A and B are shown apart, each in its own frame.
Chain A
Amino acid sequence: MIAVVMGTLMSHWRKRPLQLVLLLLGLSLATALWSGVQAINAEARAAYADAAGLLARDRLDRLVGENEAPIAPARFAELRRAGWAVSPVVEGYHAPSGLSLVGIDPLTMPAGATPVGQDDGPGIAAVLAPEGLLIVNPQTADRLKDAELPPLFAVEGLPPMTAIGDIGLVQRLLDQPGLISHLVIDPDAPPGLMALAELAPELDRVSPEGDGDLARLTDSFHLNLTAFGALAFVVGLFIAHAVIGLVFEQRRATLRTLRALGVSMRVMVGMLLVELGLLALVAGIGGVALGYLVAAALLPDVAGSLRGLYGAEVSGTLSLRPGWVLAALGLTLAGTLAAAGIALWQSATMPVLAPAMPRAWARTSAKKLAWQGATGGLLLLLAGVLSLLDVGLVAAFALLASLLVGAALILPLAMSAIVTRFARQKGGPVRQWFWADTAQQVPGLSLALMALLLALVSNIGVGTMVASFRQTFTGWLDQRLASELYLNTRSSAETAAILDWVTPRVDAVLPIWSVSGTLNGLPGEVFGVADHATYRDNWPLLDAVPDVWDRVASGEVALVNEQLARRTDLAVGDQVALPGGSLPVGGIYSDYGNPKPQVLVGLALFDSRFPDVPHLRYGLRIAPEKAAALGQEITARYDLPAGSVIGQADIKAYSLDVFESTFAVTDALNILTLGVATVALFASLLTLAEMRLPQLAPLWALGLTRRRLAGIELVRIVVLAALVLILAIPLGLALAWALVARLNVAAFGWQLPMGLFPGDWLWLAVTALPAAALAALWPALRLARMPPAALLRMFANERG
């Protein structure tokens, strides 16, 4: 019996393969975008965990020099001989290969902190062998297989572009003999025979950072992606819901007949669940495959963003995690059940004797519409209240959610009101019928229109935010990157030599000295700035005391970046706690793209507080046309590694690259969401078309040609889409405001001025309206080509 019931249910899909395709498409798309985003997030999180786990950073105490100064080579043996189980680590960037090198001593490194000597890692002998080896992850090994490097040994679980090798080898590669960056302490060894403070007063013992750092910094970025994934998932479910609703409606009579023929309710509901499960499984597998492709396509850009924004190394290649596949399949199943919930419930509670007549499947009562509209209104009101508050990331997302959902819910009511207004206007009979019929159709199309609205609103909102950001960011880069050349040297001695030579050849030499430190309780950086017109003229101050640059130069006040000001609630005039004592805040400057707190102080003050900081970075002012030649000459003359002298244009290009790749993901998700919404519209129209034949047949009988009717149908959809677009613009701007003034502040710590970009709306209209027309085209064509007999049957056979 089960096979007979199942076969009967399935025979519906055989008769209507298009519905099957649409349903599977909707579910697959929903799963794909959501799981694609999840895959990206999982990849990034795994990379953060690898970074935190490198050398067991998340569990080993470290000894570090003040201001991250290198550790005197003799300290290691002195501490060991005093009974401290320390092990040396050298870290550095290897420019020729692009690797972050980590040099360790496998003989003293605490067990399990590196892959050396572990099951999948190399033996100590191989690490210590004269030719040595570098341990990297398999992707990095693959990428560097042709590089001129010591042999590579591939091990899973290392951060990308990071290599572990023997300390001697790494010191050679970095050309830094004897250098020790820091010492790690074996947690299982007994403490030393003397106190550390007596043995090495210049070293600080630092406890593990935990894995929170990168994960926390990047949280907001991933939250953004997740929000997009969720939006796409919801839009995809709209499609599934529309199709499932239609299918259940069309099969209502079949289900009744089956009941009458002796199939119990329990068996039937069970079979329906099995059927949905099978569909979800097929769609889920398709969605996972598609999601994998989406994630693989987007990941390189995401990796670029994370590297640029946070310095987080995430591999650009995706690995397939079984947990992710299962979660995606589970989600598809849950989504399918959610989309089918109402239809399933109706089928399960359907009285077997109710009149077995088809009714308009999606006909929503005016009462339901009103309820929905009222809920939407409440949500919009909530969004309004939330917009007045300024309370963090969760509230910002709540604001976005209530804005979007509220707008979607209120849409059908608003559309009905507008269309009904049109219907009341005088006009020819066809025109009158057009509006009246459109008004009747709004409830049936409401889900699809809501999906379209969501896609358009997020498109406008995010587009406005990105465009505003781009405008602000490029202007800010122009201000901030005032020097024509930026010089990075390897030692103070090298610096002195270069400066001697270069000073007479440039207009100004501007020191850019910095030191890491705790700023108002947060880890950040202190910069020393010279008293120079470059800063006075260009530095992007948001707020400042009068004569601020004089007072910075004299050491009276400090400048803080917007991030620090916002995170610790600083205003001009407040005291900011710095290493060496607090200073009044003389001004606040914008500092886009930097996640860390930052403070600027006068150069004299900086030098007196941090006399040991090596002087390695300088900005050089010179006539722009001479900059490139001078840069090349410095590099050649002092045999500097590539990247030691960077031109302003290169930094700008790099910064804009980071910017563009950050929002490439957003753009891609935006377009995909719009695509899904179009499919949703198509699904709704296709299903409606069938219902509408009885309504169209009389008009045909009254003398309207099928062509004309089809044309009217097409126009109707474009008109509805245009109305949605018009409504979407103010909502999109509201969304953009929420993103710029609330979410960005909460997530990144800076606020942007918001701009209006009507050109983008026009572009969206040029994209979205044809997309809607395309969605309506096929149902219209079918109508235009429908044999008259099919229309005639509406009279002969119509029982609606």
Chain B
Amino acid sequence: MNAARRFVLAGLASAFAAPACAQGFAGLGAAANGFALPDPAGRFDFPSDHGAHDAFRIEWWYLTASLTGADGASYGIQWTLFRTALNPGGGDGWDSPTLWMGHAALTTATAHHVAERLARGGVGQAGVAAVPFQAWIDEWAMTSLAGPADDVLDRLSLTARGRDFGYDLILQATGPVVAHGKDGYSVKSRDGHASHYYSQPFYQVAGRINLPSGPVEVTGQGWLDREWSSQPLSDQQTGWDWLSLVLEDGTRLMGYRMRDTRGDYTSASWILPDGTLEALPEGALVMTPLRTARVADRDIPVDWQIDLPAKGLSITVTPLNDAAWMATTVPYWEGPVFATGTHPGRGYLEMTGY
């Protein structure tokens, strides 16, 4: 899932749109009045579902990648485009109700570079087109390079830059797009809050990152999340801890813990290298904080014990850099992690609401 991501979406909505801060983290608990609601019977229709869903309030294109440089060092990058609508009706030009927010980050063992871009729809500064696929804000872009027979997400170029960093990467999928939950209907709370959620977790990544010290050639593995909804959180949920891992045996694990005043809600997807996805029931995944670090004046649990007894998984997750803090309009923690234990691997951790 990605409850993780929604929080940011939510952030966008609350920061720019409605005074809904009292309702759950970053306003994600706001009622969906006038917007479409996720349909449990709905099925994905590609490539049009790679584009924007204007009937829904919030949506994102969320890419993370764990990388290794030619210099042998570990890196991580994040590229996210959030869409939020102030109201379900349309509007042209500068009166468009659509707002876009881009986040880009580049993490090293000692530094965490962040950039943010804001835009509104209607004037061409930011948007997402399904065919030919491109998601962009300013000069940042995720652009399809796929052949006509392939899924548009199979091959992507990805670029972003901030004041002191940038990257240009090529992403090549080695497996299919996978749907989380029940055919992509992903439940977030016991009250039935949900989203439409699919991923492309099989990217091989190559390209170049630009650090203040100069460019570095990198390779690694990437993971794209796509999710949209109108009211994905319960107003009792205060934040979440979300994890995506590429294990050394080729299996992918996605799991999250929704922190709820009435008791946490967890969910996990177990994805085999051929793209077979097993949605594990609520409570199957156990996430236990092991160590907190002081980041941005907050206590953030950066080391975790992850147990998934159904799969015999018991791992410890540790970040590349404790201080992977996204000091953006809605701040959160997002950074590359390493897993050790029964199933070693690499991936990304996201934590919100701290």
Contact = CB atoms under 8 A, between A and B. Distances in A.
Q: Do chains A and B touch in the complex (CB under 8 A)?
A: yes
Contact of B125 (A77, A125, A130, A189): A77
Contact of A83 (B99, B119, B139): B139
B93 A178 contact: yes
Contacts of A130: 86-87, 97
B61 interface: no
Interface string B106-139: 0000000000001110011100000000001011
Contacts of B139: 80-83, 192-193
Interface stretch (B14-22, B148-156, B314-322): B14-22
A78 B19 CA distance: 33
A125 B138 contact: no
A688 B119 CA distance: 80
Contact of A77 (B15, B17, B87, B124): B124
Nearest to A128: B16
B262 interface: no
* Most chain B beta-carbon neighbours within 10 Å: one of A74, A124, A171: A124
B94 A168 contact: yes
A188 interface: yes
A77 B100 CA distance: 14
A607 to B, nearest CB: 33
Given A105-B120, A166-B94, A168-B94, A125 B163 contact: no
A188 B119 CA distance: 18
A178 B124 CA distance: 13
A105 B163 contact: no
Interface string A511-545: 00000000000000000000000000000000000
Contacts of B18: 125
A73 interface: yes
Given A105-B120, A124-B15, A81 B138 contact: yes
Contacts of B119: 80, 107-108
A81 B93 contact: no
Contacts of A80: 119, 125, 138-139
B165 to A, nearest CB: 11
A77 B15 CA distance: 23
Given A107-B118, A166-B94, A81 B123 contact: no
Given A125-B17, A125-B18, A193-B139, A108 B118 contact: yes
Contacts of A193: 139
Contact of B86 (A73, A128, A171): A128
A658 B185 CA distance: 71
Contacts of B120: 105, 107, 128
* Most chain B beta-carbon neighbours within 10 Å: one of A77, A166, A190: A77
Contact of A190 (B15, B17, B95, B163): B163
Given A74-B124, A81-B125, A189 B16 contact: no
A187 to B, nearest CB: 12
Contacts of A82: 139
Interface in A145-174: 166-168, 171-172
A177 interface: yes
Contacts of A177: 93
A604 to B, nearest CB: 39
A434 interface: no
Contact of B136 (A81, A85, A168, A178): A81
B94 to A, nearest CB: 3
B17 A172 contact: no
B125 A168 contact: no
A465 B16 CA distance: 59
Interface in B220-263: none
Nearest to A103: B94
Interface in A755-790: none
Contacts of A107: 99, 118-120
Given A77-B125, A124-B15, A125-B19, A168 B93 contact: yes
B98 to A, nearest CB: 11
A107 B102 CA distance: 12
B50 interface: no
Given A83-B139, A167-B94, A188-B163, A76 B16 contact: no
B180 interface: no
B57 interface: no
A177 to B, nearest CB: 6
Given A77-B124, A128-B99, A171 B15 contact: no
Contacts of A128: 16-17, 86, 99, 120
Contacts of A168: 93-95
A189 B163 contact: yes
A128 B120 CA distance: 10
B62 to A, nearest CB: 20
Given A76-B125, A81-B139, A83-B139, A172 B86 contact: no
B161 interface: yes
Given A107-B118, A107-B119, A128-B16, A83 B138 contact: yes
Interface in B170-220: none
A177 B122 CA distance: 13
A107 B15 CA distance: 11
A135 B163 CA distance: 31
Interface in A383-431: none
B95 A172 contact: yes
Contacts of A189: 163
Nearest to B94: A168
A125 B119 CA distance: 13
Contact of A171 (B16, B94, B163): B94
Contacts of B163: 188-190
A354 B139 CA distance: 92
A190 B123 contact: no
Contacts of B123: 73, 76-77
Interface in B8-35: 15-19
B94 A125 contact: no
Nearest to B122: A168
B170 to A, nearest CB: 19
A40 to B, nearest CB: 40
Nearest to B123: A77
A167 B95 CA distance: 9
A647 to B, nearest CB: 37
Contacts of A192: 139
9 contacts: A77-B124, A80-B138, A85-B138, A125-B19, A130-B87, A168-B94, A168-B95, A189-B163, A190-B163
Given A189-B163, A190-B161, 19 more contacts: A73-B93, A74-B124, A77-B125, A80-B119, A80-B138, A81-B124, A81-B125, A83-B139, A83-B161, A107-B99, A107-B120, A108-B125, A128-B16, A128-B99, A128-B120, A129-B86, A167-B94, A192-B139, A193-B139
Interface of A: 73-74, 76-78, 80-83, 85, 105, 107-108, 124-125, 128-130, 166-168, 171-172, 177-178, 188-190, 192-193
Top-5 shortest CB links A-B: A77-B124, A168-B94, A107-B118, A83-B139, A168-B95
